[in-house]
C-alpha cells in the first residue's frame, strides 16, 4: 500500500524530485556527505541502492522458499490474516479480505503450468511478479474470468514452440526473470464464507509444463538456482543487520544486490544504475562476493544507502505516486509496471511489496485526519462514505500500525477489516451512505451505529488507514472519485 509509510524523511518536494536522477542525488549528497567521502560517489551509491532495494525485499519475502521442496509448490494458507498470525505470512500490510495462495517459481528448469477450478463467480486472482516486482500477469477473475482454466508461465526467451503442441492454445505469461513470485488471493466475504473459499483454494494446481529430462534425479533435497541465490542474499542481509528500510552495515547489502542482479539479470532498458557499480568497487560478475573494498569505498556505500533510503522513505510518504486528494487519501496509479521509474518501484517495495496493477486493485492510504494530524489510537474519528466505494468486486477498509505497517491488536474487538460489501451488521444511512468509526475503544454502546460500524485501532498507537478497491471504477483510477476525510470526533 503506497503512502502508508509512517516516518517521512525530512525532504522537501524539490528534494524529492532530486531523488529521481543521478544529478539530483549529487546535489543532495553535496549538502549532506562527510568531507572525507565523495559526494558524487555517494550519489552513485544512492542511485544503485534505490535501484536494487526491491531485490532485497523480494529476497526477504522468499525466505520460506529456501527449504528443500520450497519452490514450484503451491502453499494454500487456509486462514485469514489476523494480528496474531500475521508474522507467519511474511507480507507487509497484509489484507484480511482473501485467503492467500503463494509460490516461488524457479523457471530455470522450464515453464510451469498453473490451474484453477470453476469458482462460480467467486473473485480470485493469481498475481505474477518477476524478481524486480514487476507484475507480468494476473490470471483470474479480473482478466480471464472464473471458468476452469489453465495457464503457462514461461521463463525469459523461452520459445513457445518448445512446449507440447497440446499446450499451445493455453494463455502464456512470460517473466523477465527465472525467479517469480506467485501471489494468489481468493475472496472471503466473512467467516461464514470461509469453508467455501477454502474448497476453491484447494483446487488450484501447479506443475511442470514439460516432463522432467530423462536424466533428472528427482532429488528434492538439491537446492535450485532461486534457493541458492536467496539463501546467499539473506545471509548477507543478516550480516548487514537488515530491517526493512535500514541497514547497519551496507556493504553486505550491496553485495546481496550484486549477487541477485547476477542471478536474475534485469530486462533490457532497466539496468542503467548497474553501470555505476564498477566506480564503487562493485562488480556484478563477482556476484555475492564483494570483499575487495577499501575502508573509503565502504564509507561511500554506507553514505549512499542512507541517502537512497531517505529518498525511498520520503517518496513513499510524499512522492508523486499518482493520485493525492485534499481529503488526505492518496494512491498509486502506477504500481506493477515500473520501467525505469526506480524510485517508485522502491517506494512500493518498502510499504507494500507485491502491490498489484491499478486496474486490478487500488490501494488508497491516509495517515492524517482532516486537521492534518497523524491518526492516533487515543482519538475517535468518523469517515463518512457517500456510498459503497465503487469497485466491480468489493471494497474494504483496514488499519495498520504506522511503526510496523502491520495489523494492530485490540482488547475489545477482533475485527481487523470492514468489508463494505459483506461485513455483517453494518448500519447504513437511509440515503445509502455509511459513517465508519475509528478508535481503540468502543465508540458507542451496544446496538449503536457507532459500535456497528467500528473499525478498531491499537491503543496509544499511531496508524494509517488502507482502502482497497478490487476492480476499481474508472473514476477511482483516474482520481476523480472523491474520498472522504477522516474527521476527529470531539469528546
Segment 334-380, tens digit of pLDDT: 889 999 999 999 999 988 888 899 999 999 999 899 999 999 999 99
Among residues 184, 208, 232, which one ends one of the domains? 208
Mean pLDDT, the chain cut into blocks of 10 residues (491 residues total): 39 86 92 74 96 96 86 94 87 90 95 97 97 97 97 95 94 97 95 95 96 55 90 96 88 98 94 95 96 93 94 81 87 88 92 89 93 95 97 96 92 94 95 97 95 96 95 93 94 66
Kindly report whether the global pTM for this prediction surpasses the value 0.85: yes
| Residue-wise pLDDT tens digits, 389-422 | 999 999 999 999 998 889 999 999 999 999 999 9
Give buried/exposed letters for 272-303 (b at 16+ CB in 10 A, else e): ebbebbeebbbebeebbebeebeeebbbbbbb
- Residues 395/421, Cβ–Cβ less than 8 Å: yes
CA atoms of 69 and 211, how far apart (whole Å): 17
In a domain, 153, yes or no: yes
State the total domains in the chain.
Answer: 2
In a domain, 22, yes or no: no
Among residues 208, 242, 277, which one ends one of the domains? 208
CATH of the domain at 102: 2.60.40.1610
Among residues 185, 208, 231, which one ends one of the domains? 208
Give buried/exposed letters for 399-437 (b at 16+ CB in 10 A, else e): bbbbebbbbbebeeeeebbbbbbbbeeeebeeeeebbbb
In a domain, 349, yes or no: no
In a domain, 204, yes or no: yes
In a domain, 358, yes or no: no
| Residue 262, number of CB atoms within 10 A of its CB | 15
Strand 391-401 with 463-472, pairing: antiparallel
In a domain, 75, yes or no: yes
In a domain, 7, yes or no: no
Which domain does 484 fall in, by range?
367-488
Amino acid at each position: 500500500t503506497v503512502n502508508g509509510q509512517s516516518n517521512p524523511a525530512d525532504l522537501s518536494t524539490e528534494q524529492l524530485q532530486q531523488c529521481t536522477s543521478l544529478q539530483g542525488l549529487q546535489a543532495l549528497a553535496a549538502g549532506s556527505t562527510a568531507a572525507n567521502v565523495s559526494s558524487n560517489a555517494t550519489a552513485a551509491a544512492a542511485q544503485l541502492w534505490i535501484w536494487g532495494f526491491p531485490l532485497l525485499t523480494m529476497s526477504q519475502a522468499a525466505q520460506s522458499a529456501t527449504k528443500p521442496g520450497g519452490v514450484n509448490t503451491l502453499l494454500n494458507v487456509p486462514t485469514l490474516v489476523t494480528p496474531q498470525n500475521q508474522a507467519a505470512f511474511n507480507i507487509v500490510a497484509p489484507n484480511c479480505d482473501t485467503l492467500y495462495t503463494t509460490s516461488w517459481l524457479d523457471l530455470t528448469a522450464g515453464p510451469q503450468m498453473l490451474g484453477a477450478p470453476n469458482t462460480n463467480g467467486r473473485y480470485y486472482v493469481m498475481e505474477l511478479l518477476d524478481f524486480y516486482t514487476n507484475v507480468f500477469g494476473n490470471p483470474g477473475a479480473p482478466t480471464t474470468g472464473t471458468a476452469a482454466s489453465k495457464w503457462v508461465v514461461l521463463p525469459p526467451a523461452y520459445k513457445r514452440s518448445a512446449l507440447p503442441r497440446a499446450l499451445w492454445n493455453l494463455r502464456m505469461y512470460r517473466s523477465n526473470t527465472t525467479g517469480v513470485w506467485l501471489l494468489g488471493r481468493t475472496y472471503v466475504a466473512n467467516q461464514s464464507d470461509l469453508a467455501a473459499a477454502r474448497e476453491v483454494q484447494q483446487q488450484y494446481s501447479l506443475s511442470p509444463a514439460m516432463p522432467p529430462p530423462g536424466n533428472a534425479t528427482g532429488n528434492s533435497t538439491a537446492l535450485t538456482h532461486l534457493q541458492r541465490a536467496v539463501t546467499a542474499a539473506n545471509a548477507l542481509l543478516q550480516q548487514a543487520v537488515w530491517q526493512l528500510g535500514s541497514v547497519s552495515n551496507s556493504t553486505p547489502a550491496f553485495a546481496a544486490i550484486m549477487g541477485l542482479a547476477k542471478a536474475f539479470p534485469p530486462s533490457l532498458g532497466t539496468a542503467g544504475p548497474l553501470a555505476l557499480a564498477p566506480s564503487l568497487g562493485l562488480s556484478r560478475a563477482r556476484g555475492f562476493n564483494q570483499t575487495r573494498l577499501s575502508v573509503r569505498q565502504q564509507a561511500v556505500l554506507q553514505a549512499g544507502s542512507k541517502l537512497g533510503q531517505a529518498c525511498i522513505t520520503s517518496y513513499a510518504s510524499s512522492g508523486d505516486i499518482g493520485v493525492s486528494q485534499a481529503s488526505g487519501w492518496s494512491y498509486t496509479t502506477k504500481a506493477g509496471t515500473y520501467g525505469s521509474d526506480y524510485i517508485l518501484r522502491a517506494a512500493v517495495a518498502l510499504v507494500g511489496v507485491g502491490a498489484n496493477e491499478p486496474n486490478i486493485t487500488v490501494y488508497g492510504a491516509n495517515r492524517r485526519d482532516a486537521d492534518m494530524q497523524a491518526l492516533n489510537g487515543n482519538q475517535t474519528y468518523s469517515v463518512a462514505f457517500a456510498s459503497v466505494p465503487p469497485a466491480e468486486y468489493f471494497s474494504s477498509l483496514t488499519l495498520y500500525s504506522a511503526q510496523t505497517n502491520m495489523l494492530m491488536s485490540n482488547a475489545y474487538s477482533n475485527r481487523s477489516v470492514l468489508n463494505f460489501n459483506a461485513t455483517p451488521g453494518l448500519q447504513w444511512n437511509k440515503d445509502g451512505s455509511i459513517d465508519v468509526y475509528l478508535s481503540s475503544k468502543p465508540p458507542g454502546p451496544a446496538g449503536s451505529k457507532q459500535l456497528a460500524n467500528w473499525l478498531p485501532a491499537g491503543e496509544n498507537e499511531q496508524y494509517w488507514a488502507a482502502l482497497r478497491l478490487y476492480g476499481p471504477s474508472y473514476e477511482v483510477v483516474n482520481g476523480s472519485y472523491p474520498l472522504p476525510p477522516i474527521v476527529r470526533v470531539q469528546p
